[in-house]
Structure 1
């Protein structure tokens, strides 16, 4: 195994000689965005705010070094924080036993990281390849809308109850619109318009539009009176680095938290890979699912020793990172380093950052996460893919994120199985040019009266047996066709259940009719037939390398004249 496989950062590290400036700007922007989020997410997880900062410092560095995505930013997230709280609160209350609660949070993080790491080592990352693009696009769009709506309270300056859904947010703001703090509104919308102007009209500064907008938005807040006029800031920020602390991995703790840790691990992996893949749609970077599993696992394992709770990929910060011009994972490392510097040296200044300015920027980030181009493409090209996209998007908006992803994945699996369970069965005939064609495409093409040739386009497995069986049963019941040749070039594989059915079907035809034959079957499709002993059961002499060889041999076994001459081998009865 090469060093680059063990240490994937060796692949992108040489690139930073030319990209470090872009990564630096993106890192600074990311630092500004993560400060209020770290506070909020830690509180959602039932932990003191400082643990959100610890997670935002340690997790992104390790995930950047050992992951595969160049733009994914890991750290505290809403969904993970909610799962952490809902898992731990069953066993201990953060209000009455905070130290025990924190201790269990670190154990939960370690276990989640361990499960993620082992799934990566076992190369289970390929499972994410079954998550269709429509799921990713729907999830991304839903998350973008969700992120934007969550920021409306900071745009209007209206205190929306924590944990409100999109509909509740809209209803609450509509009912309390008269309470809008116009100073806050001006800062939020002003920051948003500044960002748009710089991005689209001032091209030399377009790379830095978020950072400049945040700074100018902060200045605008000061000019409008700041706290005096109700323009909230992120508030007091602790000024210390994450302390080393070994998780209490006692048998009782591990046994108690294992199931919750597995749920946490799976959600974190799906979230991280989904975000990485959604950004990769724009950057065209290839995401290695196994490496991403390992990166997320190692980041949580290491983080658990530095007083950090579980993290995963963040839609908001990853979106900001990409849109701010990041080129390599160095931007995530810069963001973490700057966060450490801010907390150590500039905590007092950073505490004045207005939430309204960040709200304006995050509105733009949320909008940019909606991939209108691909949504339009899905709408035009496939009704089934549109259903998958819609289910995932609506699930993201109105239900838990993990439910939305699972609903989208299950729906895409359903349509996949539905499609593969109904393989195309083409009746093959000979046209005037003596070429094999699908009978449907050329009605003048002719078939041999004694030999039905069909082509199966798709795999023969437990799900597709029914359709193929129905087709052969109709041929059998017609009592006219004695011999059937299956052109097997389009059969990708045959599973055990299908091999059992196929052998029984062939034996039935051999006993009561002429027989079923197969030509051009791929070696991989013959694998189960051979290893399972089915070929010995039905006979090797029914398999042929191509259609022409099969037709010649089958006609030697036909014991009645053909009605007319289709193939050279056809035996036509001569009258008189």
Structure 2
């Protein structure tokens, strides 16, 4: 095992000599973005705001050092905060016993982190391969839309109820549109336009979000002299995360186990999905197992510094990438920046205007919608479009984790449906003496005694019925007694497939013929060999190439029928 495997940050550390400026800009931008979010997410979790800061200071550093993605920013998230409150409030509420609530929350974070670590060390990162391309694109578009709409209350200055769903936000804003604060809207729109304009100015384009946010906040301060209702993030606590060992009470751990498993699974799917969304644009190769380990260590270590559960943040990761981050150093800078703000600039940070940040996050949400890839999916496949649509709509109208799982289940259903009906082509020889699919050339002829087919797909439990029906039709025709299967396209055969093949081979043998295989991959023969099915089918019925197979099978054909045959398909027929 190499040092880079144990310490993945060694792989990107040498690049910071040339990328530190880009990472610094992205990191400072990330610091500004995380301040209001840390406060809001902590409150959603039922915790005092300071715990949001603790989590945003510690967890991103660990995740950056030991994760895989160069752009994923970890920390407190909406989904994690909602789940934390739902799990802990079953046993104690913040109103009844705040200290007990905080203690259980930190313990829950530790347990979720351990589960993530175990999954990473067990190399369960392959599970994310079941999250298809269309699921990722749909989730990205849905999350981008959701992020943007959740900022509309800051953009219009309308007091939308906390925790409102997507459709409730739209309904509430439409019904209260007359309450729009024109000055708040002006700050948000001005910030958004400034970000777009600065992006087109060559030498400061990478500073567009940071400069737009500062200028937008300055405009808000100026307008506040003449109007009311332009909110800022308010008082920023100046405490640093204290070191404290979680309360490892066995009874509490047993009580929180199911919640910790749910929280770990949701956090991992969320983090890896976000990583993949950004990797589609950055073209970075991800290591899902390493991301599991990074997320696990982040939760475990940060729990010793009074932090609650963290995962990948869509909005902050999107801002990080779009602000020009090149390495995970940007995430570390953002955390250090937050620490410095809390220590030295808490009084200034409180002037950051919520409408200005709302305008920036609108832009981030829009940029998460990959219109070109959505068009590709719509044009190329109806099934993939269904997967994309379900994931996108689910993200908007259901819980994020429900949307992801729905998308994954539907994409798996379509995959199984496709693989359960492998293409089976009937082969013959054409006038150019080439083996070819009979539907491609009208001159192609078949041997009256030997049927040749090619199976393109695996022979497994889901496909056995479809293949069996095709074979039944062949058998019922009562023509050819010998069947040659061109098996180059068979990737694997499972136990159900092997049992069916051995039974089918016996049927054709009792008929006076047999089933033969040519080009079957070694890996596809694995179950056949280990289960003793090769002996049942006959080891002499497996061939490496068509010519040797036909030469052997020809000797088993009925010579009287061959003598009267006018097709003379094989060279052996003419000898």
Q: Could you state the TM-score of these two structures normalised by the residue count of structure 2?
A: 0.98
- Residues 218-241 of structure 1: per-residue CA shift (max 9 Å, x gap): 110111126951110101111011
Rounded Cα–Cα distance in structure 2 between residues aligned with 1:226 and 1:243:
39
Please list, as runs of the form range in 1=range in 2, the aligned pairs for 1:165-564 lying within 5 A after superposition. 165-200=165-200, 202-225=201-224, 229-559=228-558, 560-562=560-562, 563-564=565-566
Per the TM alignment, residue 432 of structure 1 is displaced from its structure 2 partner at its CA by 1.1
- Residues 70-96 of structure 1: per-residue CA shift (max 9 Å, x gap): 000000000111111111111111111
Equivalent residue of 1:55, what SS?
A: helix
Per the TM alignment, residue 570 of structure 1 is displaced from its structure 2 partner at its CA by 3.0
Rounded Cα–Cα distance in structure 2 between residues aligned with 1:289 and 1:263:
19
Rounded Cα–Cα distance in structure 2 between residues aligned with 1:513 and 1:272:
59
Rounded Cα–Cα distance in structure 1 between residues aligned with 2:225 and 2:246:
42
- Residues 38-57 of structure 1: per-residue CA shift (max 9 Å, x gap): 01000111111111111100
Structure 1 residue 105 corresponds to structure 2 residue 89: no
Matched residue, 1:74: 74
Rounded Cα–Cα distance in structure 1 between residues aligned with 2:202 and 2:413:
46
Rounded Cα–Cα distance in structure 1 between residues aligned with 2:23 and 2:498:
56
Contact 1:119 1:125 in 2 (8 A): yes
Rounded Cα–Cα distance in structure 2 between residues aligned with 1:27 and 1:206:
15
Per the TM alignment, residue 571 of structure 1 is displaced from its structure 2 partner at its CA by 7.7
Equivalent residue of 2:488, what SS?
A: helix
Per the TM alignment, residue 440 of structure 1 is displaced from its structure 2 partner at its CA by 1.1
Rounded Cα–Cα distance in structure 2 between residues aligned with 1:567 and 1:371:
55
Matched residue, 2:151: 151
Structure 1 residues not aligned, in runs of 5+? none
How many equivalent residue pairs? Answer: 571
Matched residue, 1:140: 140
Per the TM alignment, residue 538 of structure 1 is displaced from its structure 2 partner at its CA by 2.2
Equivalent residue of 1:557, what SS?
A: coil
Structure 1 ranges of 4+ moved more than 3 A: none
Equivalent residue of 2:571, what SS?
A: coil
Please list, as runs of the form range in 1=range in 2, the aligned pairs for 1:45-60 lying within 5 A after superposition. 45-60=45-60
Per the TM alignment, residue 471 of structure 1 is displaced from its structure 2 partner at its CA by 0.8
Rounded Cα–Cα distance in structure 2 between residues aligned with 1:556 and 1:241:
86
Equivalent residue of 2:443, what SS?
A: coil
Per the TM alignment, residue 513 of structure 1 is displaced from its structure 2 partner at its CA by 3.7
- Residues 344-379 of structure 1: per-residue CA shift (max 9 Å, x gap): 111111011110100000000000000001101111
Equivalent residue of 2:555, what SS?
A: helix
Rounded Cα–Cα distance in structure 1 between residues aligned with 2:516 and 2:574:
19
Equivalent residue of 1:456, what SS?
A: strand
Rounded Cα–Cα distance in structure 1 between residues aligned with 2:146 and 2:225:
27
Structure 2 residues not aligned, in runs of 5+? none
Equivalent residue of 2:162, what SS?
A: coil
- Residues 128-151 of structure 1: per-residue CA shift (max 9 Å, x gap): 112111100000000000000000
Rounded Cα–Cα distance in structure 2 between residues aligned with 1:444 and 1:146:
59
Contact 1:68 1:292 in 2 (8 A): yes
- Residues 429-475 of structure 1: per-residue CA shift (max 9 Å, x gap): 10111111111111211110100000001111001111111111011
Contact 1:561 1:571 in 2 (8 A): no
Rounded Cα–Cα distance in structure 1 between residues aligned with 2:304 and 2:226:
38
Q: Could you state the TM-score of these two structures normalised by the residue count of structure 1?
A: 0.98
Matched residue, 2:123: 123
Rounded Cα–Cα distance in structure 1 between residues aligned with 2:490 and 2:221:
70
Rounded Cα–Cα distance in structure 2 between residues aligned with 1:373 and 1:125:
28
